[in-house]
Amino acid sequence: MVFMDRARGAFYLENEKMTYAFAVRAPELTEHLWFGARTGHDLPCGQQITSGEAHAVQYPVPDGGYVNRDQIPQEFHQSYAGDFGEPSLLIERADGVRRMDFCYEGYELPEQKPELPGMPQVRADENGRTLLVHYSAGGIRMTQHYTVYDDCSAVVRSVTLENRTSEPVILRRCASFAFSLLPQEFRDMPAGRSEWQAVYLAGGSGSEGNVQRGDLDRGTFSIGSRRGVSSASLNPFLAVVTPQTTETSGPAYGVNLVWSGSFTIRAEITANRNLRLSGGLDDTDFAWRLGPGETFRSPEAVLTYSEEGLSGMSREFHTLYRRHLIPRQFVFRPRPVVINHWEATRFRFTGEQLRRVIDAAAEVPGIDAFILDDGWFGAREDSTSSLGDWVVNEEKLGGSLQELSDYVHARGMQFGLWFEPEMISKDSALYRAHPDWVIRTPDAEPLTGRDQLVLDLANPAVVDSLAESVQAILRETRIEIVKWDCNRDLSEGFSPYLPPDRQAEQSVRQTLGFYALCEKLVRGNPEILFEGCASGGSRFDAGMLYYFPQIWTSDQTDAPARTFIQYGMSMCYPLSAQSCHVTSSPNRRAAHRTPLAARADIAMLGAFGYELDLSAMEPEARAELPKQIGAYRTDVQLILKGDLYRLASPAEGNYFAFELVRPDRTEAKITVMRELELFNRTRLRLCPQGLEPDACYRCPELDLRMQGRSWMHVGFLPRFTPGDFQTAVYHFVKE
Ligand code: GLA
């Protein structure tokens, strides 16, 4: 798992499928050797150095010679030492010095992966081994953390900086990781051709997770968020592939940050055409004052590699997150099938209406939980008031919250409740009592978003008070599920609590404050299932998954539109993490009609539920629900544990298709949607993947039995009911 070649100073982090290697060539120079397919323990150093750099800045090394740092792929890139690429570290000493020559000091192989206090982190469990490599420069100690796994092709990285001097230093950039991929050919690419492509997820609220793919050329390509949340506009995920990489074959490198706030991920083709990758906290306006004796920990970054294309890369992420990130008590447990009233009622409802929804749900065998969404507290009838006042509106509910919870439980269901803890309405008792508790610039009116302001979570008093007011409700009421929402971006960049010289820490401290709240409320209530949400999927990231086993994927609930979103989110996040509901048709946002079966088939590719007025459904439609829930339960192990193969992308054609295969390959399921029924269009041939070639599989829906290899090569033509937005589902059962 961690092999050390002492003679050459080389470290190999490895498992059966991959190698990640670097070597300490000189104290000042740690060279990144390789990340990719498994290699031997014999990698040479200095391969990527080209000759003839007559005018390069000469960096002396102990053997008496010089190196050109600019050309050497490294494990971190410091500033001002002859390296003109993107630095991964920028530190300013009290005397103004910014050139830091970090020198290797030694390494450790601790028994346990060191904890990352108060932050989300990937566990090592029994499958991970951690290596710490220590460096220092001018009294600043830096540790690079690596954890490698034997059950998936992933390396988890982070950085610790410790100020051992008597003066403060300023951290201006502290990327969680850096490494480089070497050029395939040592010549310039002809115009219009690139060696590498970036694949990433872009969008907005209601259109999360659109897969983008584009060439990487000379210079720096970056994605990031400055919204204070990881954001729907660009997810903190980047894959790097070759132009030939497909869903099933070719190299695919994935980078994902275990961080829910602002971020930057950079991919730079350097002067000698290395592809230098780095990423972590957003550093556009970041300056962290690290006092004498203080330590700074970066968030973690996950790096994955697969030779089996983008689907292969996704499976590595899914395996890692299911086994080592998502809370263990929930990850492999079938999640409750919920009914939520939000799309049916929005803010305005009466206790009587809610009880009608609950009664109707109780009549549907299989619905496990009722979620009371926004509108139950303070005087909340629309978005303009009451956030922060977590006081039950008993008049509106027609009784106490416990009474409503009892009503739900008496009908055999669990009770779930919506909160938006980080936010505050101007029209609230909390704001009137503590106008200084919001993020605001002293001389400007704070900008609202969805009519609300953001609480200053850099202030521990705010975190404590919030935790207490939410906890009071959780204590007093029987609640099994919490939906934790966050409906706006951060816009002010100023915390009234922090001193002037710490204002450039505000964005990071806000996210740390959010995690402090999660530590108290989420980890403090381990029996409650917390679902994340942020205007839909605006904070869908690995940091969230450490606390929240599932996240509301999007407020876009139209099934055809959802196929794009669920397809994109699956690049990095397992299907069991995606919360998906059947809503009414025509959808609130889309004019077209989608058959009920299709809405259910797409929602069943995640944590499943309903969000509509069941009492308004036609009896024939309502009669379908128990069958749908039954089908969901039959296949739920595939959602929780299955290997995902993306067979067809809705962005590339008229079809969406996902296949899930049980890890022991005894069963597979394909869900396919045909968007439009177009006359005379070529039909789709679907070839299942991941089956055992020599085993026989029966497909009950096709009434056909073939060898795995026949299914995988020849495939079949899915059949659809006439009409647009139809789905079909096929099972393959090993005999
Ligand atoms: C956000 C969520 C919705 C719903 C509303 C309530 O938009 O994504 O699911 O909870 O807030 O205000």
What's the pLDDT at 59? Answer: 87
Residue 536 C-alpha to ligand 1 middle, in angstroms? 7
Residue 388 has phi, psi (to 5 degrees) of: 105, -25
Domain at 399, CATH number: 3.20.20.70
- Whether residue 271 is contained in a domain is answered as no
SS3 assignment, position 460: helix
The 10s digit of each residue's pLDDT in 402-435 is 999 999 999 999 999 999 999 999 999 999 999 9
pLDDT tens digits for range 365-388: 999 999 999 999 999 999 999 999
Do residues 535 and 620 both lie within one domain?
A: yes
Q: What is the pLDDT of residue 64?
A: 76
Query: Is the pLDDT reported for residue 52 higher than 70?
Result: no
Q: Which residues are catalytic?
A: 485, 555
Residue 250 region, left (φ>0) first, then alpha (ψ -120 to 50), else beta?
left
Give the length of the chain: 735
- Assign 110 a pLDDT band (cuts: 50, 70, 90): very high
The whole-angstrom separation of Cα 706 and Cα 699 is: 8
Q: What separation in Å is there between the alpha carbon of 418 and the centre of ligand 1?
A: 9
Residue 559: which domain range? 328-636
Nearest Cα residue to 418 out of 377, 378, 384? 377
The count of structural domains within the chain is 2
Q: Tell me: do 597 and 717 sit in the same domain.
A: no
418 and 452 share a domain?
yes
Are the CB atoms for 360 and 629 separated by under 8 Å?
no
**Protein residue with least CA distance to atom 1, ligand 1:** 535
Residue 665 to residue 687: CA distance in whole angstroms: 15
**pLDDT the model gives residue 680:** 65
Burial of 687 (0-12, 13-18, 19+ CB in 10 A): middle
Tokens at 47, concatenated:
């391969």
Residues 626 and 659 in one domain: no
Confidence class of residue 591 from pLDDT cuts 50, 70 and 90?
confident
- Among residues of the chain, what percentage have pLDDT more than 70? 98
pLDDT band at 261 (very low <50, low <70, confident <90, very high): very high
- The Cα-based distances of 251 to 200, 242, 411, 555, 648 in angstroms read 15, 7, 52, 33, 19
Residue having the nearest C-alpha atom to atom 5 of ligand 1: 374
Pocket test residue of 376, 420, 485 for ligand 1, highest count of atoms within 8 A of CB: 485
CATH of residue 697: 2.60.40.1180
Pocket of ligand 1, candidates 531, 533, 565, 610: which has the most ligand atoms within 8 Å of its Cβ, to mutate?
533
Token pair belonging to 225: 């968020």
> Are 659 and 631 members of one domain?
no
**Stretch among 65-79, 487-501, 623-637, 711-725 having the lowest mean pLDDT:** 65-79
* pLDDT interval class at 290 (50, 70, 90): very high
Give the count of alpha carbons within 13 A of 667, CB side only. 13
According to the model, what pLDDT value does residue 189 have? Answer: 66
The reported pLDDT for the residue numbered 271 is 83
Query: Where is the domain boundary, 602, 636, 670?
Result: 636
pLDDT by residue (tens digit) across 141-182? Answer: 999 999 999 999 999 999 999 999 999 999 999 999 999 998
> What residue ranges line ligand 1, CB within 6 angstroms?
342, 373-374, 418, 485, 487, 533, 535-536, 552, 555
Give tens-digit pLDDT for 295-320: 999 999 999 999 999 999 999 999 99
CA–CA dist 461, 511 (Å, integer): 15
User: In this structure, is residue 33 part of a structural domain?
Assistant: no
Which one of 208, 341, 342 would you pick to mutate in the ligand 1 pocket, going by the greatest count of ligand atoms within 8 A of its CB?
342
Residue 188 pLDDT greater than 70, yes or no: no
Cα separation, 366 vs 552, in Å, equals: 21
> Which residue has tokens 């690419």?
189
Whether the predicted pLDDT of 539 surpasses 90: yes
pLDDT band at 273 (very low <50, low <70, confident <90, very high): confident
Cβ–Cβ < 8 Å for 89, 288: no
Overall average pLDDT of the 668-693 stretch:
91
Name residue 145's amino acid. H
Same domain, 582 and 665: no
What pLDDT does 594 receive? 96
Q: Which of 574, 605, 636 is the last residue of a domain?
A: 636
pTM of this structure: 0.97
Residue 142 is assigned to a structural domain of this protein: no
Q: Looking at ligand 1, which residue's alpha carbon is closest to its atom 12?
A: 374
Spatial contact of 536 and 551, defined as CB atoms under 8 Å apart: no
Please indicate, yes or no, whether residues 669 and 615 belong to a single structural domain of this protein. no
Q: Are 194 and 181 in contact (CB under 8 A)?
A: no
d(CA 74, CA 267): 14
The string of pLDDT tens digits covering residues 330-350 is: 999 999 999 999 999 999 999
Are 630 and 669 in the same domain? no
Tell me, yes or no, whether 24 lies in a domain.
Answer: no
Residue closest via CA to ligand 1's atom 6 equals 374
Q: Is the dihedral of CA 435, 436, 438, 442 positive or negative?
A: positive
Average pLDDT value for residue range 459-464: 98
Nearest CA to ligand 1 atom 11: 535
HSE value, Cβ hemisphere, 13 Å, CA-based, for 553: 36
Contacts of 305 by beta carbon, 8 Å cutoff, 6+ apart: 17, 18, 35, 36, 37, 153, 154, 251, 252, 253, 254, 313, 316
- Domain membership of residue 441 (yes or no) is yes
Long-range contacts of 430-434 (CB under 8 A, 24+ apart): 430/388, 430/389, 431/388, 434/462
Q: Which of 636, 666, 685 is the last residue of a domain?
A: 636
Q: For residue range 569-589, list pLDDT tens digits in order.
A: 999 999 999 999 999 999 988
- The answer on 372 and 520 residing in a single domain is yes
Residues 625 and 727 in one domain: no
Supply the pLDDT for residue 51.
Answer: 53
Residue 126 lies in a domain: no
Q: Ligand 1 center to residue 58 CA distance, Å?
A: 57
Identify whether 710 is part of a domain. yes
DSSP state of 52: -
Res 558: pLDDT: 96
pLDDT averaged over the chain?
A: 95
Give the CA diameter of the chain.
85
What confidence score (pLDDT) does residue 590 get?
84
For the CA of 536, the nearest atom of ligand 1: 8
In angstroms, the CA 136 to CA 163 distance is 10
User: How far is ligand 1, taken at its centre, from the CA of residue 552, in Å?
Assistant: 9
Residue 85's region, left for phi above 0, alpha for psi from -120 to 50, else beta, is beta
Give the confidence band of 46 by pLDDT, cuts at 50, 70, 90: confident
User: Residue 603: what pLDDT?
Assistant: 98
Distance from the CA of 369 to the center of ligand 1, in angstroms?
Answer: 18
Which amino acid belongs to residue 94? A
Residues 527 and 670 grouped into a single domain: no
Encoded tokens for 35: 């990340």
**Would residue 714 count as lying in a domain?**
yes
Identify each DSSP E strand in 168-274 by its residue range. Answer: 169-181, 196-202, 210-216, 219-225, 234-241, 252-258, 263-269
- Distance, CA 535 to ligand 1 centroid (Å)? 6
Cis peptide bond prior to 496, omega within 30° of 0: no
* Residues 569, 679 within the same domain: no
What is the distance between the terminal CA atoms of the chain, rounded to a whole angstrom? Answer: 37
